[in-house]
């Protein structure tokens, strides 16, 4: 199927970490022009060089999505240079406290993950939407999480940030729809990768007194498909929402989780 993304200007936040690189590679294979932002310029430049070696147009910008003034400055510079942003993929985010009950969560830890996962997406959407509205075209994909569809013990702060992002997504979809702008929410389940292996697994293993291998097995057993998602699974969902194949879909939650949220 031709997704017709060749030449589209795709803005990916959190491009260098987590699911960001897989998302960037997927859009690069479709011929998109990539604008990658994040705080780790060394990692961003490594990814940019990798993409360039395969013939993909990519630029890297340092930007802290939690700083609205910095977001406005970076987006303004990009619009001045390129004239438009066709697609925004809000992939920047964090995990927040793991294995911590609501009453044990500090106000600082709660505020930190809300600011990153929710406010950061809002800042980006606020910055790019006026240009999309003027052109009567745009695709926004907010990468959330299934803990924003179902609560999860020990992950209250993260869950709150992703529930909030769903509300931002749905309300903005209604407001932007008359301007031919689609706004959707991809909800990954647990995604196998560095963040899961290096942060979530060890913390859950310590909190529950089990091995890291048992943590993986328990997660997989909760899913209908009995397997944990990969970053490529999430990238493919982003491709779908960024293309006109999904032109009549907006304001929806798409769980990419092997069936966990449906059970």
* Rounded Cα–Cα distance for residues 2 and 230 (Å): 23
Rg over alpha carbons for the chain, rounded to the nearest Å, is 18
- Contacts of 250 by beta carbon, 8 Å cutoff, 6+ apart: 173, 177, 181, 182, 183, 184
Residues 28-70: tens digit of each pLDDT: 999 999 999 999 999 999 999 999 999 999 999 999 999 999 9
Whether the per-residue pLDDT at 261 is higher than 90: the answer is no
* Rounded Cα–Cα distance for residues 102 and 177 (Å): 36
Whether the per-residue pLDDT at 1 is higher than 70: the answer is no
Residues 207-218: tens digit of each pLDDT: 788 888 888 788
* Rounded Cα–Cα distance for residues 26 and 42 (Å): 21
What's the pTM value of the predicted model, to 2 decimals?
Answer: 0.92
- For 200-211, give one letter per residue: b (16+ CB within 10 A) or e: bbebbbeeeeee
* Rounded Cα–Cα distance for residues 149 and 146 (Å): 5
Q: Which of 158, 179, 185, 223 is catalytic?
A: 158
Q: How confident is the model at residue 227 (pLDDT cuts 50, 70, 90)?
A: confident
13, two tokens: 């936040």
Is 61 noted as a catalytic residue in this protein?
no
**% residues pLDDT > 90 (the chain):** 76
Q: How confident is the model at residue 93 (pLDDT cuts 50, 70, 90)?
A: very high
Ordered by where they begin, the domains of the chain are: 9-190+230-251 (3.40.50.720), 192-228 (no CATH)
Query: Across residues 14-40, what is the average pLDDT?
Result: 94
Whether the per-residue pLDDT at 21 is higher than 70: the answer is yes
Q: Are 183 and 250 in contact (CB under 8 A)?
A: yes
DSSP 143: E
What Cα–Cα distance (Å) separates residue 11 from each residue in 22, 32, 150, 151, 223? 14, 10, 29, 30, 31
pLDDT, position 36: 97
Residues 137-189: tens digit of each pLDDT: 999 999 999 999 988 888 999 999 999 999 999 999 999 999 999 999 999 98
């Amino acid at each position: 199927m031709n997704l017709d993304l060749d030449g589209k200007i795709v803005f990916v936040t959190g491009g260098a970490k987590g699911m960001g690189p897989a998302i960037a590679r997927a859009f690069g294979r479709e011929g998109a022009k990539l604008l990658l932002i994040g705080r780790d310029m060394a990692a961003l430049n490594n990814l940019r060089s990798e993409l360039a070696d395969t013939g993909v147009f990519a630029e890297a910008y340092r930007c802290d999505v939690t700083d609205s003034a910095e977001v406005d400055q970076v987006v303004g510079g990009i619009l001045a240079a390129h004239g438009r942003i066709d697609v925004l993929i809000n992939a920047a985010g964090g995990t927040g406290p793991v294995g911590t009950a609501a009453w044990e969560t500090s106000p600082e830890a709660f505020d930190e993950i809300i600011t990153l996962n929710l406010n950061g997406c809002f800042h980006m959407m606020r910055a790019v939407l006026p240009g999309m509205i003027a052109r009567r075209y745009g695709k926004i994909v907010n990468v959330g999480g299934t803990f924003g569809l179902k609560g999860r013990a020990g992950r209250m702060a993260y869950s709150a940030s992703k529930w909030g992002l769903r509300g931002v997504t749905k309300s903005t979809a209604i407001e932007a729809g008359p301007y031919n702008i689609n706004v959707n929410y991809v909800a990954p389940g647990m995604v196998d990768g560095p963040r899961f292996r290096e942060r979530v697994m060890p913390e859950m293993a310590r909190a529950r007194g089990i091995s890291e291998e048992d943590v993986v097995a328990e997660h997989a057993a909760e899913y209908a498909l009995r397997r944990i998602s990969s970053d490529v699974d999430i990238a493919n969902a982003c491709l779908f929402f960024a293309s006109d194949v999904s032109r009549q879909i907006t304001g929806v939650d798409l769980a990419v989780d092997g069936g966990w949220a449906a059970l």
